Structure 1
Amino acid sequence: MAFTTPKIYHVHGMDSRQHLEHYLSDKPDMVFQEDFLIFPIENLMKTFSEGHIKGDVLIDLSIGSLIHHLYAPSEFFKNIIILKVKDRCILELKRWLNTRTGAFEWGHATKIHIDIEGKSAELQDKEGKVREAAQHVAKCDLNKQNIMDPVVLPPADCIISVCFLEVISKDQDDYVRYIRKFSGLLKPGGHLILLGCMNMTYFKVGNDRIHAFTYDEEFVREALVGEGFVIDDCNVKKRTAVSDLTDFKAVIFIAAHKEK
């Protein structure tokens, strides 16, 4: 079936389970392990192991129904608030959090984390910490000034966002506006961690072709600094995956903090 006009992620949604199968599964033909599993896990482990990012509240604003990026922060945060723009992503995520039959299997990602960590912790222990911390999963509305209106979120010590800004932004102004909105959710001195795909124009999920905003390292650095952030770490990895599912050229990891 031919792909038609690109869909907008937070408007049209996507099949979140198929997204996981395409980009994050342990299937032999899943070619994104280096870019979407190992690179994020390595960078998040390094950043959190340094010990300066911790506190009471971490907010996760990420694409789809991801879990693997929460292994490292679950060691330092007992309260992780996961926000999603679509019910389908919430349902898929809760299937895993509540250990329901048919949940997506994250054991391969957990093993990658444990292998890199070099510890003998069991898979269940690592996944159990995420389940224990991620007790709050809710829907948000990005069009509202308070995205959780009428609920007021507690100021966060850290926000993690994985491959989210590029799929909700239509242009540079949009991207900066969302950075500003994220900043408003953070405490003074709070941390923002971004993982994203650079120079991407689309990604496919099933028969849907989904829009992505194209940006490069220079742009995202300037966007963060312009909104009052200090960049603490930035790593870029050129794409290794060979696939026509998406056209990103590199993946980026940025850790920054909000100036007091």
Structure 2
Amino acid sequence: MPVADVDTARRCVGGFIKGDRMIDLSVGSSLFQLIPCYKGFKDITILEVNNGCIEDMEKWVKGEANSYDWAHAIDVLAELEGCSDVSSWKVMENDLRSRVTCISKCDLSLKNPTEPNVLEQVDCIINLYVLGSCCKTIDDYSLKLNNMSTLLKLGGCLILVGGFHASYYTVNDEKFNILDFEKEDLLKILEDGGYRVEHIEVTEKKSSADFVTYDNVFVVCAVKVSEC
């Protein structure tokens, strides 16, 4: 999801995110989705699906000179908030770094996605585009959502961001599948998975980026009310 599209998530999640511990499981070595909400959590675990992203995140946490610079995301968020002062980015970056206590590999096809490690359940999970990009069928999406849910406490909040009517994304001219599904499919998956949807917002694609195809961006805030 291009950084500018984070406006939808930013406006939706403010009243729902709370707790001490959070997991972020997002596509690529992304940080911009954490910037609006990280201050609500003392302990942040970042899960990645491949080793390259783990290495990138570890470089950033260590503050290495060749780590990715996310200052441009602050520029976008400051503009969305109507604020021109972005001089505090380094302070925010160091604060965010200090709250990241774990970076680990994740495989959503496993009942325990962090196997062999067993993580303490958290108060909130943010999932940015990962589920749609690693599933080929609705049943597979449901299974992997349920596996991810084992990491979330009862009463915890799931922030799920993805795309409807998607097809593929490209990396170095190589195409990768994105699940094509609709709002009704997602709502049923969440209900069957033990979630109560508190808020859902669907917006038309705003970005002109051609490396990813989708018609709509969705943001769901859902509370885990039962074990699947």
TM-score, L = length of structure 1: 0.80
Deviation per residue, 1:126-148 (Å, 9 max, x gap): 22222111221011233322122
Q: 1:146 to 1:251 in 2, by over 3 A?
A: same
Q: Which amino acid aligns with 2:70?
A: W
**Rounded Cα–Cα distance in structure 2 between residues aligned with 1:188 and 1:96:** 32
1:72 matched residue in structure 2: 36
Cα distance in 2 between the residues matched to 1:93 and 1:234: 29
The correspondence of residues 90-239 of structure 1 with structure 2, limited to 5 A, is: 90-118=54-82, 120=85, 122-239=88-205
Letter in 2 for 1:191: C
Map of 1:7 onto structure 2: none
Percent identity over the alignment is 29
Distance 2:77 2:208 in 1: 23
Aligned to 1:62: 26
* Code of the aligned partner of 2:199: D
Alpha-carbon distance in 1 for matches of 2:207, 2:35 = 24
Asked whether the equivalents of residues 5 and 207 of structure 2 are also in contact (C-alpha less than 8 Å), the reply is no
CA contact (8 A) 2:109 2:144 kept: no
Partner residue, 1:10: none
Does the residue aligned with 2:212 lie in a helix, a strand or coil? coil
Distance 1:88 1:174 in 2: 24
- One-letter amino acid matched to 1:55: G
Q: What does residue 52 of structure 2 align with?
A: 88
Number of positions where the alignment pairs a residue of Structure 1 with one of Structure 2: 224
C-alpha distance in structure 2 between counterparts of 1:82 and 1:165, whole Å: 15
Q: Which amino acid in structure 1 is aligned with residue 71 of structure 2?
A: G
Per the TM alignment, residue 42 of structure 1 is displaced from its structure 2 partner at its CA by: 4.8
Contact 1:204 1:246 in 2 (8 A): yes
Deviation of 1:118 after TM superposition, in Å, equals 4.9
How far is 1:163 from its partner?
A: 0.6
Partner residue, 1:4: none
Residues 44-63 of structure 1 correspond to what in structure 2 (within 5 A)? 44=10, 46-48=12-14, 50=15, 52-63=16-27
SS at match of 1:145: coil
Q: Any conservation in 2 of the 1:61–1:82 contact (CA below 8 Å)?
A: yes
**Distance between the aligned counterparts of 1:215 and 1:125, measured in 2?**
40
Q: 2:95 corresponds to which letter in structure 1?
A: K
Greater share of residues in helix: 1
TM-superposed CA distance for 1:181, in Å, is 1.3
* 2-structure distance, mates of 1:242, 1:60: 26
Task: Check whether the contact 1:42–1:116 (CA below 8 A) recurs between aligned residues.
Answer: no
In the aligned structure 1, how far is the partner of 2:157 from the partner of 2:215? 26
Matched AA of 2:37: P
- How high is the TM-score relative to the length of structure 2? 0.90
Amino acid at match of 1:58: M
Separation in 2 of the partners of 1:73 and 1:94? 21
